[in-house]
Amino acid sequence: MGFPSTSYPANSVISFPLSPSPAFLGSSRSAGQGRVGPLRNAGFTLVELVISILVLGILAAVALPIYADYRSAARAAAVKGLGGSVNSAMGIVNSLIAVRGAGTVGKETNITWVTMTDGSQVRVWSGYPDRWCDGIGATQLGMEAPANDGCYLSTAAVKNGQFNFYGYGNGSIPNGDAGWRLEDATDPMYCSVQYTYNGTTPPVVTLNTKGC
């Protein structure tokens, strides 16, 4: 049995469908099958936005006290560090006087000047650093003491690193004693290093941290 022959005109173009028709597949899709719906708009719904705000509020309520405690602890640590340095410097000055003598006589009664190992001079009152920025204040690095004896009897703030120093008789350190305080503390007066000295008994260094 032979196959019927099919002839096409010369130079004719024959085209075939690129995809089969539903009839060729033997089935048809139901209405709407495979139809892609509209895409959802990007962004938050009102409910999602409210939930996000609540979560952020809870996180902030937890984090802020921790951050505040961290800053308070850092300030208290700075006070303790400076207090240790002041105590050490006080002992060094007194030891130098015991070894070298009282130092150069000053203009005021019982006042002498002692030259430290780095060449700086410290005002001394009866064997210990005096209560001004050129006395106990001058024992600390970074003290920006005014020139020409501008410290004596001065209660003005003098910058010393992150602290401010106040001479005796001020209203910034407890009891008006000389000392240093951190101005950014919650209560600067009680975030301070207090230097109590009356010229007759050895000085006392007090660390005030309850206001840090």
Instruction: Tell me the pLDDT tens digit for each residue of 150-177.
Output: 788 899 999 999 999 999 999 999 999 9
Q: What is the pLDDT of residue 126?
A: 94
What is the per-residue pLDDT across 70-110, written as a single tens digit (0 to 9) for each? 899 999 999 999 999 999 999 999 999 999 898 999 888 89
Query: If you average pLDDT over residues 7-32, what whole number do you get?
Result: 47
Q: How confident is the model at residue 32 (pLDDT cuts 50, 70, 90)?
A: very low
Q: Where are the domains of the chain?
A: 58-208
**Can you list the pairs that 75-78 forms with residues at least 24 positions away whose Cβ atoms lie under 8 Å?**
75/182, 75/184, 75/185, 75/191, 75/209, 75/212, 76/191, 76/209, 76/212, 78/162, 78/163, 78/182
Mean pLDDT score of the chain = 81
